[in-house]
Copies of this chain bind each other. A is one copy, B any other.
Amino acid sequence: MRISQLSAESGVAIPTIKFYLREGLLPQGEQTSATRAEYDQSHLRRLRLIRALLEVGRLPVAVIRKIIEAVEDEGTDIHGMLGTAHYALSPAPEPVPDDEDWRSAREIVDHLVADLDWHRVHPDAPTRDELAQTLVTLKHLGMPATRDDLLPYARAADTLVKEHDIRKIPLDGPRDTTVEALVICQVLYGKAFDALRRLAQESESARHFSTRPPADCAAAPEKGPSDEE
């Protein structure tokens, strides 16, 4: 297809497509004359991936380029390719302090990883440090942050990922599509879970603490009563 059709089918404006071509994010089409190039389904898939990385992952172009290099390098196995996207989507790790609290938090994390049989997680995965940092903050604020406190959360995460997240990633398709699904699944199912947890919290809070009847127990005090749908 011509660039105009690629734009129509992908919903990406022609100047933006040309920018991706210049940046090397989108492979050049097949040159059919001095001024014309032909594009195919692989270009459409790549535009979908770029859109997911930009709009869902909110990643900068330099990081997107790195992920696309891993997608294009057939020598990088699927785990390595997914890992590049995976780490790029994680919050930047904070500097690791050299103190006793941090070391003991990091030990809790390593024990949890062993408890859950996650021994394939890289020993230097920044996610380990990130979790240890959160445990240190919890402890400094006087909140429970032991291995036992974390274990039920770790078990729930393990079950959701093994039984549900992983099934949403197509394994036998093109590499672009696999990474696109990982990004969408990690970011959007993460957002969905967070919203579900807040709904459950509002429900529990109303059940335990509200002194008003259910239809009126708005958590938002500025809102008037309204009927259940």
Contact = CB atoms under 8 A, between A and B. Distances in A.
A1 to B, nearest CB: 20
Interface string A126-168: 1110110011011001011000011011101111111111101
Contact of A207 (B82, B120, B163, B195): B120
A64 to B, nearest CB: 16
Interface stretch (A19-27, A31-39, A184-192): A184-192
A13 interface: no
Given A83-B220, A157-B200, A217-B79, A206 B121 contact: yes
B157 A212 contact: no
A188 B127 contact: no
Interface in A17-58: 52, 56
A221 B113 contact: no
Given A195-B131, A196-B154, A223 B124 contact: yes
A14 to B, nearest CB: 22
A120 B191 CA distance: 22
B212 A198 contact: no
A208 to B, nearest CB: 7
Q: Which range contains the number of A residues in contact with the other chain?
A: 35 or more
A199 B220 CA distance: 35
Interface string A190-229: 1111111111111111111111101001111101001111
A141 B202 contact: no
A171 to B, nearest CB: 7
Contact of A77 (B87, B135, B210): B210
B121 A199 contact: yes
A70 interface: yes
Given A52-B141, A218-B122, A83 B205 contact: yes
Contact of A192 (B84, B135, B159, B200): B135
B143 A152 contact: no
Given A199-B127, A200-B157, A200-B162, A209 B121 contact: no
Closest 6 interchain pairs by CB?
Answer: A83-B219, A120-B206, A78-B209, A118-B203, A79-B210, A161-B200
